[in-house]
Amino acid sequence: MTLSIRAALMTATILAAAPAAAQMAENPMVGGAPMLAERNIIENAVNSADHTTLVAAVQAAGLVDTLQTEGPFTVFAPVNSAFAALPDGTVETLLMPENIGALTEVLTCHVLGANATSDIIGGMIADGNGVHMVETLGGCMLEVRAANGMITLTDETGGTATVTIADVMQSNGVIHVIDAVLLPGAEDAPMETGMAPSANPMVGGAPMLVERNIIENAVNSADHTTLVAAVQAAGLVDTLQSEGPFTVFAPTNAAFDALPEGTVETLLLEENRDTLTKILTSHVVAGNITAADLVSRARASSDGFYHFSTVSGAALSAQVAPSGNVFIFDENSNAYRVSIADVMQSNGVIHVVDGVLLPR
């Protein structure tokens, strides 16, 4: 694999970070060494005592020449301790010549084909109502958020890294130091799926039984107590227990927790029932749409997206990342990963998503 990407993606893969000055009078020190803006990414990285593992990996993958080109690139640079935190033997295995493909895939999950300084990425997060999805040059989809003055990146495996040093300017881009290694999702099994009705995945620590309906299963998931409370408050229990069939994109508790403080409590007030109902029904589609349907329809479309409408009339779009993971886009262009797919029900199917899909 080489570092390449369609020109159209070069400007689209700009991620978001905590506000910081994009142009600094002086670069911060990294790994005990001065980072000089007139030097390129490789020339600076080799001087950081905190990035010797990253440099060795870039050399082993044959990416030195690429990262010395004009770019521009944004590199999320894991420190040595981030690599050391991987399971025993992982780094040593990746550095073997026969694993250069896997190593390259991991490394290119940390690189964007754009100069994504923190003022730019802060704006992208704001435009995305607190979250922004970016595609790296390696085809990984990263979920970027900002909280408490810090930026976090969540990879396709659910692992999260925090930017500890931002805006280390280079002659061919910018480096943001991070505290964890970002990993691509498994290509052969990007989502937990039930291959047959008897093979439903566990959700929220509970078995999902195909002979039960959407509500009967949802109330048993420890990861969906907020969703269940919202469905009850909106008076949608009877609807989702009816024959259907329905396809439900089910946000986890963590997804609701990520909304601005007080949002859920406000939505659960009786006077906001109509708004709550609109949001919830923006997660429900008439019909039984499996993960295979989402993937095949997205790949068959001219723009790479499967566009469809919910029972509320809200528009959703599904896209398949190069890793095979499916992301659902709402009307505000927020994108959330389908983390558990094909949870079959007696009256439809549930796909667990890691964000709340909001209508305009």
Is residue 151, in this structure, part of any structural domain at all?
Answer: yes
Res. 37: pLDDT tops 50: yes
Predicted confidence (pLDDT) per residue in 111-153, tens digit: 999 999 988 888 888 877 677 888 888 888 888 888 788 889 9
Same domain, 171 and 207: no
Q: Please say if the pLDDT value at position 262 is more than 70.
A: yes
Judged against a pLDDT cut of 50, whether residue 11 lies above it is answered with no
**Residues 113 and 144 occupy one common structural domain:** yes
Radius of gyration for the chain, computed over Cα atoms and rounded to the nearest angstrom: 22
Same structural domain, 142 and 254: no
Q: Which domain holds residue 332?
A: 197-353
Asked whether the beta carbons of 187 and 139 are under 8 A apart, the reply is no
For residues 144 and 201, state if they share a domain.
no
Same domain, 168 and 201: no
Residue 185: inside a domain, yes or no? no
Question: What's the pTM?
Answer: 0.59
Count structural domains, the chain.
2
pLDDT at 19 over 60: no
The most confident of the ranges 141-150, 196-205, 224-233 is 224-233
15 pLDDT higher than 90: no
Based on the fold, state whether residues 138 and 221 are members of the same structural domain.
no
Pairing of strands 246-251, 284-286: antiparallel
Residue 111 lies in a domain: yes
Is residue 183 domain-resident? Answer: no
- Domain shared by 154 and 206, yes or no: no
State whether 165 and 254 are in the same domain: no
| Domain CATH number, residue 217 | 2.30.180.10
Whether the per-residue pLDDT at 85 is higher than 50: the answer is yes
Half-sphere exposure of 273 (CA within 13 A, CB side): 7
**Inside any domain, residue 89:** yes
Range in 46-50, 131-135, 170-174, 275-279 the model is least confident about: 131-135
Would the CA dihedral through 339, 342, 344, 348 be positive or negative? positive
Which pLDDT value is given to residue 45? 96
What span, in angstroms and rounded, lies between the C-alpha atoms of 182 and 76? Answer: 9
Q: Are 24 and 118 in contact (CB under 8 A)?
A: no
**320-360: per-residue pLDDT in tens?**
887 778 999 999 988 999 999 999 999 999 999 999 999 98
Tokens (6 digits) for 311: 């029972």
Task: Please tell me whether residues 135 and 236 are part of one structural domain.
Answer: no
pLDDT digits (tens, 9 = 90+) for 174-200: 999 999 999 987 653 444 444 344 468
